[in-house]
Amino acid sequence: MVTPFQFLSACDEVGTIMSKELAPLIGTAYGGEELCIGADNTPTERIDQIAEDIVFTYFREKKICCSLLSEEAGMVDIGGESGIAYLDPVDGTFNAVAGIPFYALSIALSDGEKMIAGYVMNLSNGERFTAIRGEGAYLNGEPIQVSTETMLDHSAMSVYAKKFDMTRMMELGHKIRRWRLLGASALELCYVACGRLDGFVDMRNTLRVTDAAAGILICQEAGGRVSLPDGSPVVFADNVVSGTCLVATNRVIHRKVIEYLRS
């Protein structure tokens, strides 16, 4: 298996290629054309397919890992010696197709037991969030840390919920200062990591390992805490059809959020 540093370097090259190749499709109906149903049982749009193909081609050629799990293709053997990569080729597809500059390439690397490296690139502006387990988190190569906000009524958080949970989530929304729904969970987790948000709460039970693996590692390495809504550790199924809920915060306010969700 390649080293975590080599993995992040490969992701940088893939991200650069992808940014150029996807640029003509951003904000277009052509980019949003539905081509098929992906392994995650949702429509695969043209922009997703092109982005995924770029990653698969590069990772196969460079033998970055043994297997790659992607929302569109599922688990695929790509010929490397070991390691599993978890890919969301375009996190925030709606944003990309609508021309909203908040969508990302998200890739995490596992040694088979734990995530050891995470990479998230905002494809609209080139910002790169990276982490290697035990070595901290970075934005464009500079160290980042979560915020130090201690008060819910001063905090800014992304909060998602299913329709039947919206009343309860609105109550949480009234307890925080700013409620944001930005539409790309990998980037939102990274925004917690660098202190732009104080928390990220997703109660839809739809987040999969490909959506969140990289962002979770980056958030944790920046000092954040990530858990299920009851405070227990997050454990993902190794597929793209089983989802879960998630709470990620700057750690300081985590207990307060969990206590509210339990009430």
Angstrom distance (rounded) from CA 242 to CA 240: 6
More confident residue, 11 or 43: 11
User: In this structure, how many other beta carbons lie within 10 angstroms of the beta carbon of residue 127?
Assistant: 15
211 is in an annotated binding site: yes
pLDDT greater at residue 82 or residue 146: 146
Quote the pTM value: 0.94
DSSP, residue by residue, 106-155: EEEEE-SSSEEEEEEEETTT--EEEEETTS-EEETTEE--------GGG-
Domain ranges of the chain: 4-143, 152-262
| 259 labelled ligand-binding | no
State yes or no: pLDDT of 170 exceeds 60.
Answer: no
pLDDT higher than 70, residue 15: yes
Where do the DSSP E strands lie in 71-114? 74-77, 84-91, 104-110
13 appears as a binding residue in the annotation: no
The alpha carbon dihedral of 24, 30, 36, 39 has a sign of positive
Mean pLDDT across the chain: 91
Residue 53 pLDDT: 95
% of the chain at pLDDT higher than 70: 95
Is 185 within 8 Å of 200 (Cβ atoms)? Answer: yes
| Residues contacting residue 101 through CB under 8 Å, at least 6 positions apart | 95, 122, 124, 125
* 71 labeled binding residue: yes
Q: Tens digits of per-residue pLDDT, 29-54?
A: 999 999 988 888 788 899 999 999 99
| Phi, psi values for residue 239, rounded to 5° | -155, 180
Q: What is the pLDDT of residue 27?
A: 96
Pairing of strands 199-207, 156-160: parallel
Q: How far apart are CA 3 and CA 33, in angstroms?
A: 37
What is the CATH number assigned to the segment(s) 152-262? 3.40.190.80
Element (H, E) at 157: strand 156-160
* CATH number for the domain whose boundaries are 4-143: 3.30.540.10
